Each structure stands twice: as C-alpha cells, then as structure tokens.
Amino acid sequence: MHVILDSVGANFFLGTAAATFTREHDILVEFLTLLTVCYTIIPKLKDGKIHYQASSPDKAALIAGAELLGLYATHKPKSIFVDVLDVSQEFQILNVCKFNSTCKHMSTIDYASDGHAGTIIFERLSKVLEDYVTEGLRTLCITYCNISESKYKQWSAINDQAASTINVCVDTLNKATKIIEHNMFLLSATRPIIPSSLTHPAQVWVLTSDRQETVINIGMSCRLITESMNMATHSLSSLCGHATSLIYALKKELSKMFLKLAVMCKAIICCHMSPLQKALVVKLVKKNQKSILLTISNSANDISMIQAAHVGIGISSIEGFQVACSADIIISQFYFLKKLLLVHRTWSYQCLSGFIMSCSPYSCLTPSLQFSFFNNFLSQIAYGFWTLSLYNIVFTVLLPLVIGVFDQFVSARILHRYS
C-alpha cells in the first residue's frame, strides 16, 4: 500500500496493486476522523481561510493536518460534521471528559450518524507504550471503542451525579471517566524527534509530566544521563523521581532529606509532575540552597515554576506567550539558551561590574567634604548648581556608558569554544 498526497487539491487517496481499500485504509480514515472529532477547538474564518484556535498549538496543528489530508469539519455547538472522502458524517457530542493534570488524558463520547456511540481515549494504554518509551520517544495515543446505548446511559447517570455534587471533586470525575475508558483499540501513536542536548556544567533538574521511561531515555540520548552513572543507588550520580514519590518527598519532615540526596547527584529527573509540584520543588531548592536557580519553559502551565526561581526564561511561542510575559528573559528558541548562558551572561557580568566600578569614584565628591571644614559646615557649596546637576549626566557619563554597554572583553566565538 502506498499513500499519495495531491499537493494541488490537498486531498489524499490510498491505492494498492488491485486498487482496493484495505484494512490499513480504514484505520487511517478512522484515525484522521478521530483527530478531527476529539478536540475542543474554535474555528474562525479569517481572510477567507479557516483558522483553528485551541488550548494547545499541538491540537490546532493536528486538526489543520487532518484538514490538509482531505477531512473538512464543520463545527456546531453540539455536533461536528466531517467530510471524509466527499462523504459527510455527523458526530453528535454527548460528553467531553476534559484534560487535567491528574488523569493526563482527554476523551469525548460522540453519537455517530450511523447509529452507534464511540468513545475516543487518549493515553490510556500502558503495555503498548512500553515499546515506544524505551526508545526515548514521546507518545500521543489515539484509541477508540464502540459502546452500546444502554451502557452509555448507565455511565451517563454516574457521570452526571459526580458532576452535579455541590463540591465537585476531580477524583470523583476521574473515577467516573475510568468506568467508560477500557478495552480500547489503538489506532496510532506519534513518535516525535528528541530535541538536542544541553551541555552545561551547572546541575540540571528536569521537571516534566512525561512518563518515567521516556524521560530516562531522553536523558540518555542528550547525554544528561550516561551509562556510567548509577541510578537510584546509595552513591548516586543521577536521580529519577516519580510524582507519586514526590508527594511524600515534598512533605516537611522529608523535604530536606530529599534535597540532601538530590544535590549529591549530577542530574535530577522528576517525571509525571503537576504544575504545582514543579513550583514546590523549585521553592524547596531556592529556600535551602545558596545557588542561583534558572528555570526555562514554553508552557503556560509552568508560570508558577518560572516565577519561583531567581531567573525565569520563557520561550516565546503560540502557547508560550503567557509564560514569556511572566519570565525575566525571553528567547525565541531553546537553541539560544547556550548563547544566553555562555556569552551574554559573561558579557553582562563584566559590563555590570565595570559600570559599577567606574561610577563609584565619580559619586564620591571628596572635595565637597573637605570644603565643609573651611566654611564651618554651612550650606554654601563649592560648585555651582548646574555643575553638580550635570556632573553625572553629562561630564562623566561617557566612560560608564562605553564600559556598561559596548565593552566585550572577549569575543562570542572564544566564549563558545572554551566555556
């Protein structure tokens, strides 16, 4: 089987030697259909084109990709019309189980026009993912199953009861969601490229919501963790913690012991973390260590972590505008972090030190102090009013300005090579 993309009409078709539709074709069509249906997006018409607004740019990109491959969706408040290979199909939205940091997945229950209800579940398979995460790959799973009308009505009553309580508890809603989410059929799982490594002599903490196996393999691929390191042993050179373990490690009676263990390691990885846990870890290190903390993120969920550190770096993106506005320093790509730390940090330190040292002698007007002994400490001044006013503004501004702004004691190329 081969896939052919028509670059003019942006439509696709699949063919075989016998020009027949196969099971792979059906799975691909179902996969693209679920991409279109299982999202809470807002389509807007701008300049004659449809632009999708979503809580995450990844969601909008997946929807745009499905549309590029020939699936056109018309969104209404309670239903979605999907054109699959020029065949229109209606999906009535029955329930939406929203994503949260506890369950770490999203699902929708839709009533299809052909008379069956289906549930689309994300990140609910564990055994299947093991083969992917051991290679250091981040995964996005798309699964589905058909459910009967009687089963849906039974579950809907339980879900409505959990959602209508006075004090709505997230755990109660998650338990109700788990009842309907089982026996899923895996349609697809994404495997994006691992980002490039960051090599720097500072101690590196990785606080993420990814799976433990994925983070460990990513750490090995970017040389944050090496094969010579010992993990989870007494003499640690690297430490990997799970969010469930951090719930106990961040308690008051155990937090200092956890920190004492962590600072002995060269690299620390904390996985399956919520945004609150990330901020608590940063505050713990900041409170008990004298080191300068630098945090970097491009996610709006990490604003609390960015603000808790001494220096917060935000990566500007469609999703990262909020975190960029909350950060102390903004960069456009993670690639520029190395230049920021090695070049601009060194230049800023030298320029600021030179600026302070050049301003200090000018600010100490010893002649005025000596003149006070001769005029019996009267209000009479030794210089004119305008002379004193323009002293730091005009007369002595050139040297601090040149040193503080333009001085580069060594070139960026040398700093990149030998830092």
H helix runs in 18-123, sequence order: 23-37, 57-68
Q: What is the CATH number of the domain that holds 51?
A: 3.40.1110
Which pair of structure tokens corresponds to residue 415? 């700093």
Q: How far apart are CA 206 and CA 269, in angstroms?
A: 5
**How far is the C-alpha of 243 from the C-alpha of 224, rounded, in Å?**
20
Query: Within this chain, do residues 265 and 405 fall inside the same structural domain, yes or no?
Result: no
Instruction: Give yes or no: residues 281 and 389 share one domain.
Output: no
Q: Is residue 289 part of a domain?
A: yes
Q: What gap in Å lies between CA 182 and CA 64, rounded to an integer? A: 29
- Shared-domain flag, residues 24 and 102: yes
**What is the count of structural domains for the chain?**
3
Instruction: Report d(CA 195, CA 205) in Å as an integer.
Output: 16
The SS3 call for residue 179 is helix
φ/ψ region of 150 (left if φ > 0, alpha if ψ in -120 to 50, else beta) reads alpha
Asked if residue 265 lies in contact with residue 238, where contact means CB atoms within 8 angstroms, the answer is: yes
Are 327 and 378 within one domain? Answer: no
Judge contact between 98 and 106, C-beta under 8 A. Answer: yes
Of 294, 373, 371, 307, nearest to 338 by C-alpha is: 294
Query: Digits of tens for pLDDT over the chain (419 positions)?
Result: 222 222 233 333 333 333 344 666 677 777 777 766 766 666 677 777 777 776 666 677 777 777 777 666 666 666 777 776 667 777 777 666 666 555 556 666 666 655 444 444 433 455 556 666 666 566 666 667 777 777 777 777 777 776 666 555 556 666 666 666 666 555 555 443 333 334 455 778 888 877 777 777 777 766 777 666 665 533 344 555 555 677 777 787 788 888 888 888 777 888 878 888 888 888 988 888 888 888 888 777 788 888 888 988 888 876 657 777 888 888 888 778 888 888 888 888 888 888 777 777 666 666 777 777 777 777 777 777 777 777 777 777 777 778 777 777 888 888 877 76
Structural domain contains residue 405: yes
| Residue that terminates a domain, selected from 189, 223, 238 | 189
Does residue 135 belong to any structural domain of this protein?
yes
Q: Which residues of 166-191 are buried (b: 16+ CB within 10 A; e: fewer)?
A: eeeeeebbbebbeebbeebeebbbee
**Co-location of 210 and 303 in the same domain:** yes
Of the residues 311, 334, 357, the one at which a domain ends: 334
- 0.85 exceeded by the pTM? no
Q: Residues 322, 255: one domain?
A: yes
Shared-domain flag, residues 175 and 222 = no
Considering only the C-alpha atoms of the chain, give the largest distance between any 2 of them, rounded to a whole number of Å: 110
- Find out whether 188 and 139 touch, Cβ atoms under 8 Å: no
d(CA 321, CA 319): 6
Nearest to 72 by CA among 10, 23, 28, 122: 10
99 occurs within a structural domain: yes
Residues 6+ apart with CB under 8 A from 323: 297, 298, 299, 300, 302, 303, 306, 314, 315
Pair 281, 320 in one domain = yes
Which long-range contacts (C-beta less than 8 Å, at least 24 apart) are formed by 157-165? 159/95
At residue 194, the pLDDT reads 34
| Predicted local confidence at residue 118, as pLDDT | 41
Q: Is residue 373 part of a domain?
A: yes
Say if residue 132 is in the same domain as residue 50: yes
In 3-state terms, what secondary structure has residue 1? coil
Domain annotation covers residue 197: no
- In angstroms, the CA 266 to CA 102 distance is 29
- 8 phi, psi to nearest 5 deg: -85, -55
What count of Cα atoms within 13 Å lies in the side-chain half-sphere of residue 176? Answer: 23
Per-residue model confidence (pLDDT) at position 61: 74
The pLDDT score that the predictor gives to residue 340 is 85
pLDDT score of 117: 42
Is 227 in the same domain as 173? Answer: no
Q: Are strands 117-121 and 107-112 parallel, antiparallel or unpaired?
A: antiparallel
- Residues 240, 376, single domain; the answer is no
What span, in angstroms and rounded, lies between the C-alpha atoms of 278 and 302?
Answer: 8
For residue 99, what are the domain limits?
2-189
Last residue of a domain, one of 162, 189, 216: 189
Same domain, 27 and 79: yes
- Domain membership of residue 120 (yes or no) is yes
Residue where the block lists tokens 């398979």: 125
Asked whether residue 80 is domain-assigned, the answer is yes
